[in-house]
Amino acid sequence: MRTAWKKIRYRLEWLALKSATKFLSLLSRKAYYRLALLLGSLGAMLDRRGRRVALSNLRVAFGDEISSERRAQIVRESYQHFARTMLDLIRTGFFKANETILFWHTGGQPALFAEQYADEFK
């Protein structure tokens, strides 16, 4: 059951990426920027584990120098920046059709990401 779901999930992710590529090219830069802010804010709210880790790291790094509200703002802005970067990579065609991109999904653990350009791996 789990393997069948993963196949469906990966195909849905691929379809979402292909659709996003088409959709993003239709947006104005202003709309595109606002979409990235929205997606980043949603990511910061929905990724509970990642948000907890980020807040904890900021608490360890800065202690009481910055308020809890400011730490939450930094985390949200980090997610927004990440969303802008990913949307920029998709929109600009960074992922080319003739490249092989490998993702090793590891069930929530850090993942290996590799790209193949002709005979060379990066």
pLDDT of residue 106: 52
Structural domain including 50 reads 2-95
Q: Is residue 47 part of a domain?
A: yes
Q: How far is CA 39 from CA 58, 59, 71, 119, in A?
A: 22, 25, 19, 35
- Give the whole-angstrom CA distance, residue 94 versus residue 106: 24
Q: What is the largest CA-CA distance in the chain?
A: 51
Residue 93 CB neighbour total at 10 angstroms: 10
Q: Is residue 109 part of a domain?
A: no
* HSE-CB for 64 with a 13 A CA cutoff: 0
| φ, ψ at 105 (rounded to 5°) | -80, 130
Q: Is residue 7 part of a domain?
A: yes
Q: Is residue 11 part of a domain?
A: yes
- Give the whole-angstrom CA distance, residue 87 versus residue 113: 17
Q: Is residue 71 part of a domain?
A: yes
Low-confidence ranges of the chain (pLDDT < 70): 1, 94-122
- Give the whole-angstrom CA distance, residue 78 versus residue 48: 14
pTM, 2 dp = 0.66
Nearest alpha carbon to residue 24 among 117, 102, 106, 90: 90
pLDDT of residue 119: 46
Q: Is residue 105 part of a domain?
A: no
Number of domains in the chain: 1
